[in-house]
A and B are shown apart, each in its own frame.
Chain A
């Protein structure tokens, strides 16, 4: 089974600053998807950003961007201009191209401080 590792259990950042969350994964597949999900205190799972492995260009969604390093099997999330509403658990997730089981990392708890 694929494994997803998030090595930072907790992080904090000052409002308006930039923070990067790390994620590495282990797979022998060549085609797959990677995702970052946000889980605020309400416990809802919210998709933040997605990346398809065959695309070399890093995905961006407004203040959120990724640094996808396929050879290194690394998929970090950068949050720019951090806002108080970004405070949440962030989960990295992996899904193989032709298989629908999604695997999640253990999560990083991010706190944005005013």
Chain B
């Protein structure tokens, strides 16, 4: 079955450490997204990518970096510059030409905590 796979499900970061969250999709979707969700809050857009080798900053990109070398993959690196990384991170993907019928598909999320 096609879908989005996020790994790991739980991740712990030490002070000053960079960590990378994985997001892989086999839906052949063009666009991919990373969101951050804090407790009791909505989803805030970190980065999104509409095509391979291209990505745009969302509302809260500071302290994060991404790459889009393959259509299937959109990893998110939480750098040491992100001073408050504890949150739930959701990855999503979407097909350009099917927004009306199939908007964003979401992964199951990664919970990141500070050690």
- A residues touching B (Cβ–Cβ < 8 Å)? 1, 6, 9, 33, 35, 43-45, 47, 50, 52, 91, 93, 95, 100-107, 109
Q: Given the known A-B contacts A45-B90, A101-B56, A105-B42, are A95 and B106 also in contact in the complex, defined by CB atoms under 8 Å?
A: no
Q: Is B96 an interface residue (CB 8 A)?
A: yes
The total of Cβ contacts below 8 Å across the A-B interface reads 54
Complex contact A91–B42 (CB within 8 A):
yes
Interface size class for chain B?
20 to 34
Which residue in A1, A44, A100, A107 is a CB contact (below 8 Å) of B42? A107
Complex contact B41–A106 (CB within 8 A):
yes
Which residue in B33, B56, B88 is a CB contact (below 8 Å) of A43? B88
Complex contact A33–B45 (CB within 8 A):
no
Q: Which residue of B lies closest to A97 (CB)?
A: B99
Q: Which residue of A lies closest to B96 (CB)?
A: A100
The interface residues of chain A lying within 8 Å CB-to-CB of B92 are: 45, 102
Interface residues of B in 62-107 (CB under 8 A from A): 88, 90, 92, 94, 96, 99-100, 103-104, 106
Complex contact A100–B94 (CB within 8 A):
yes
Q: Which residue of A lies closest to B90 (CB)?
A: A45
Which residue in B33, B42, B96, B104 is a CB contact (below 8 Å) of A106? B42
The interface residues of chain A lying within 8 Å CB-to-CB of B106 are: 44-45
Would you mind naming 9 contact pairs between A and B with Cβ atoms under 8 Å apart? A9-B40, A33-B100, A35-B103, A43-B109, A45-B92, A45-B106, A95-B99, A100-B31, A107-B40
* Chain B nearest Cβ from A24, distance in angstroms: 14
Q: Could you tell me the distance between the alpha carbons of A51 and B59 in the complex, rounded to whole angstroms? A: 24
The interface residues of chain B lying within 8 Å CB-to-CB of A50 are: 100, 103
Complex contact B41–A102 (CB within 8 A):
no
* Chain B nearest Cβ from A46, distance in angstroms: 8
Q: Could you tell me the distance between the alpha carbons of A52 and B99 in the complex, rounded to whole angstroms? A: 10
